[in-house]
A and B are shown apart, each in its own frame.
Chain A
Amino acid sequence: MSAVVKTVTPFTQRDLLLEALDELGVVYHEKGNAIMTERVDDYGAQRFIYEQGAYRFQHDSSPWRKLNFKEWKTVSAFLGAVEKAYHQAYERLQQRLAEEERRLLEEERKRFVEQQKQVVIQRAKKQGYNIKEIRKGNKIQLQLVRTTY
């Protein structure tokens, strides 16, 4: 007999898992290294326990046990929904990081241009120029004028 087994995505990021649970409207509270959900079975609240680098879902393993919990009766259905929401939260995080990276690069660019400008101005002043600065769109124009005798 052969079989194909697929595991749920390991929930390694606590913040993303909480964001996913929030997205799904799951009520939870944190207790130590566990995230206790409002899903309750014979052994109490079903929970995500942090171990070996990821949050794993602990629940009653009775196969016939189905809970009337929102739209996810089975553990499999619930974890499927959490996994999907987790992936979406991960994508949002990636977008935020990319945006932050862009913002930092833009700030660095502006600092560099400003530094160029200041160096030219300081040197021009030392060489006796009067300086007028004009903004033309994204460009800076420095008009240096010096009277010769």
Chain B
Amino acid sequence: MPEQRITITIDEKGQITAKTAGFKGEACLDELQSLLEDLGTIHEVKKTDAYYQQNAIKVTQKQTLGRT
């Protein structure tokens, strides 16, 4: 049975990189949008060779660290 995979990497500053596999067309972006909504502003979208099979997207966090 086909699988859909998303690999999400969060670095020490909170920047998120997400890679998808097993999605068709724009569905990967929709899925990432729902997962990463409000967690950061997307600043880079890379369409890989197998665009309809695999996409990579980078998100930077829009929140700044501050003490309350």
Interface size on A, residues (CB 8 A): 27
Residues of B within 8 A of A113 (CB): 10, 12-14
From DSSP, what is the main secondary structure of chain A's interface residues? mixed
Residues of A within 8 A of B14 (CB): 109, 112-113, 116
- The answer for the CA separation of A116 and B36 in the assembled complex, in Å, is 9
B53–chain A nearest beta-carbon distance, Å: 13
Question: CB-CB < 8 A to B3: which residues of A?
Answer: 145-148
Q: Are B5 and A149 in contact (CB under 8 A)?
A: no
Interface residues of B in 1-44 (CB under 8 A from A): 1-14, 16, 22, 31, 34-36, 39
How many residues does chain B have at the interface if contact means C-beta atoms less than 8 Å apart? 25
Given A127-B35, A147-B3: A139 and B67 interface contact (C-beta under 8 Å): no
- B50 contacts the other chain (CB 8 A): no
Collect the chain B residues with CB atoms within 8 Å of residue A142's CB: 7-10
B31: nearest chain-A partner, CB-CB: A127
For residue A120, CB closer than 8 A to chain B, the reply is yes
Interface residues of A in 107-143 (CB under 8 A from B): 108-109, 112-113, 116-117, 119-120, 123-124, 127, 129, 136, 138-143
Point out the residues of chain B lying under 8 angstroms from A129, CB to CB.
Answer: 6
Contacts A105-B65, A109-B65, A120-B35 given: A145-B12 contact, CB under 8 Å?
no
**A interface residues (Cβ-Cβ under 8 A, vs B):** 104-105, 108-109, 112-113, 116-117, 119-120, 123-124, 127, 129, 136, 138-149
* B residues lining the A interface (CB < 8 Å): 1-14, 16, 22, 31, 34-36, 39, 61, 63, 65, 67
